[in-house]
Amino acid sequence: MASSSIKAISTTSPFTASSSPSSQPPSSSKSSLLSFLHTSSSNPISLKLSHAHSHAHNSHSHSFLITNVLKTADSCETSVSKSENLKPTSSDSTPTILVSEKLGEAGLQVLRGFGNLECAYNLSPEELCAKISTCDALIVRSGTKVTRQVFEAAKGRLKVVGRAGVGIDNVDLQAATEFGCLVVNAPTANTVAAGEHGIALLTAMSRNVAQADASIKAGKWLRNKYVGVSLVGKTLAVMGFGKVGSEVARRAKGLGMNVISHDPYAPADRARAVGVDLVSFEQAIATADFISLHMPLTPATSKVFNDETFAKMKKGVRIINVARGGVIDEDALVRALDSGVVAQAALDVFTEEPPPKDSKLVQHENVTLTPHLGASTKEAQEGVAIEIAEAVVGALKGELSATAVNAPMVPPEVLSELSPYVVLAEKLGKLAVQLVAGGSGITSVRVVYKSARDPDDLDTRLLRAMITKGIIEPISASFINLVNADFVAKQKGLRISEERVAVDSSPEFPVDSIQVQISNVESKFASSVSESGSISIEGKVKYGEPHLTCLGSFGVDVSLEGNLILCRQVDQPGMIGRVGNILGNDNVNVSFMSVGRTVQKKALMAIGVDEEPNKRTLEKIGKVPDIEEFVFLNL
């Protein structure tokens, strides 16, 4: 017997039931091509994964299909309701992409090659709302505010918002998530440019370059006035050790500076690899000679540098900000400059852009300013344009994005491994919700991921999201995808917990199996295949395809694709023939058949059929002697 060890995931999510949100996405959005869920006029929803599964058990490239299921769970025990054919808004037409701020020509060329491109700059909020209902994608920089009103005005058509750059504080992520709109950014192309600009401001400030330049142009020669400070041996605190922060740290180390950093989410080993010590926020601001800001603007970081913070700093500290203006209380910074607590500041970003001309901060002699130039190099502008264009096009084509902001972000190499398990996860969710139709529904789900690898190395965020989507989609009136599945689950009071279990199997693959356990099952069929009021559904990936391997107390081997009839019956000769004859006589083609048995002389027969049998055919199956319960499923 395989040995196993269990490790519970620390982020179990207890969802509490609540009323629907005040601004629920319209039900018509069910027909939209949202995010990376792609439909055609009569085909199943298709989830194309940008990295094909390339393991030994699946050597050829795949586009994994995720079939549609019932819009709402049918209370009939035979579940004979037809699945809906979704009608996309533009399945046979070219998508429209709106670019509301200037984008590099290389990126525009990518967009022109894929869809109808419309460039409309300097739009007022009202003008943007008027245009957005005809657009499938929107690309912005930092100047356009993508508010809840924009998503409401889109009427379910907007599938992806692309932010040409890193920061996404000008996009209402909560509204985007509720409306199932994917938000992607371009986090890598301008990283070096922003890091270089941070160093440029650091050196220019320390040597008074801007002030000395202005002095000479005014006809003065004030060498003694503009004596600077050296960087060698000084301590630089990098506040935020992400992509840009780490670039600044590397370059500062090259200048002979001692670099420390505060970032509660940065791995210590990544910082150590650059020669940087991670310290507390308090220690960083108290010991630094220079402080460089590289943190996002969030409710927690808004005006985090204020009177109280400045009072804890070393007198004469110098501050650089190429991140977000809102992280500094600008009035407090002026007071700190006037008192000498802050000797100098170099700023590329501001709370209001452009800042007021009469701002005391702008006019302060000890402040060096640039007009948000962090990403403004020719190379970065072209790189950002291409990166965001490719991300938006990929999303519209149905590909998972590694730069998604409001969906599980999975590195490409991990996504490549997980791709077939992503499909398995959703299939298990869809199977679960249909099995309990007619009972009290699903309120609590436990998911167990079995793997031969270290449980801490298994990233289950995407798998969890797909299971949630599979469960929620059939019982929701609004469109569900990976973006909003978790949000809608919370609204419906669905509680999901997870465990990772280490088992003796091949470590070549990230997951051995996924098990979905549902408690307090009341539907007749689900109860008939379980023993304790709970039902367990387990699946594996075989030859690159999702398979059901265990249902309750029955071991089976069933392909999780298309239409499926499950019969709980007495284990005796002739049962397969009886059901097969009914299907054949009614012109229903059987694609496969599998039987699992127990020692109690009970059997579970699984029959795959090419088309959905009509109600009369299903009723005939239900009347076969010794078939105790059965259910029809659309996967």
Give residue 251's pLDDT band: very low, low, confident or very high (50, 70, 90): very high
Half-sphere exposure for 22 (CA within 13 Å, toward CB): 3
E runs forming strands in 229-289: 235-239, 258-262, 277-278
Please enumerate in sequence order all residues whose Cβ is within 8 A of that of 465, keeping only pairs 6 or more positions apart, or say none: 407, 408, 482, 485, 486
Nearest-angstrom CA–CA distance, 366 and 346? 9
Distance CA 374, CA 339 (A): 29
What pLDDT score was predicted for residue 409? 66
DSSP line for 450-504:
EESS-GGG---HHHHHHHHHHHHGGG-SS---TTTHHHHHHHTT-EEEEEEEEES
Q: How confident is the model at residue 425 (pLDDT cuts 50, 70, 90)?
A: very high
Residues 141-155 have a mean pLDDT of 95
For the record, the structure tokens of 460 come out as 């289950």
pLDDT tens column, 558-593:
999 899 999 988 888 999 999 999 999 999 999 988
DSSP state of 562: S
Q: Per-residue pLDDT for 158 more than 90?
A: yes
Closest CA to 478 of 465, 486, 488: 488
pLDDT the model gives residue 526: 72
Q: What is the pLDDT of residues 53-81, one digit of tens each?
A: 333 333 322 323 222 222 222 233 333 22
Q: Is the model's pLDDT at 87 over the cut of 70?
A: no
Exposed, middle or buried: residue 577 (CB in 10 Å: 0-12, 13-18, 19+)? Answer: exposed
Q: Give me the mean pLDDT over the 313-336 stretch.
A: 97
pTM of structure: 0.61
Mean pLDDT of 546-553: 90
pLDDT above 90 coverage of the chain, percent: 54
pLDDT in tens, 10-35: 333 322 233 333 333 333 332 222 23
Assign 460 a pLDDT band (cuts: 50, 70, 90): confident
| Segment among 7-21, 263-277, 546-560 with least mean pLDDT | 7-21
What does pLDDT average to over the chain? Answer: 82
pLDDT tier for residue 356 given thresholds of 50, 70 and 90: very high
pLDDT range class, residue 396, cuts 50, 70, 90: very high
Residue 108 structure tokens:
């525009």
Amino acid at 431: L
Q: What is the pairing mode between strands 342-347 and 367-369?
A: parallel
- Whole-number Å distance between alpha carbons of 511 and 503: 10
Tell me which of 220 and 188 has the higher pLDDT. Answer: 220
Question: b/e for 224-234, b at 16 or more Cβ within 10 A?
Answer: eeeeeeebeeb
Dihedral angle over CA of 575, 581, 586, 588, nearest 10: 70
Q: What was the pLDDT predicted at 128? A: 98
Better-scored residue on pLDDT, 365 or 3: 365
Model confidence band, residue 434 (pLDDT cutoffs 50, 70, 90): confident
**pLDDT at 441 (0 to 100):** 62
Give residues with Cβ within 8 angstroms of 160, minimum separation 6.
35, 136, 137, 138, 181, 182, 183, 184, 392, 395, 396
Cβ neighbors of 117 (< 8 A, separation 6 or more) are 97, 99, 108, 111
Domains of the chain are: 33-86+418-634 (3.30.1330.90), 96-189+380-396 (3.40.50.720), 191-369 (3.40.50.720)
Question: Rounded to an integer, what distance in angstroms lies between the CA atom of residue 308 and that of residue 287?
Answer: 16
pLDDT confidence band for 8 (50 / 70 / 90): very low
Q: CA separation (Å) from 434 to 82, 96, 503?
A: 13, 36, 29
pLDDT for residue 400 is more than 80: no
Kindly list the catalytic residues: 324, 353, 372
182-214 pLDDT tens trace: 999 998 888 999 999 999 999 999 999 999 999
pLDDT at 599: 65
Share of the chain above pLDDT 70, in %: 82
Q: Tell me: pLDDT of 175 over 80.
A: yes
In this structure, the chain runs to a length of 635
Cβ distance 404 to 37 under 8 Å?
no
Distance CA 500, CA 7 (A): 5
pLDDT at 311 over 90: yes
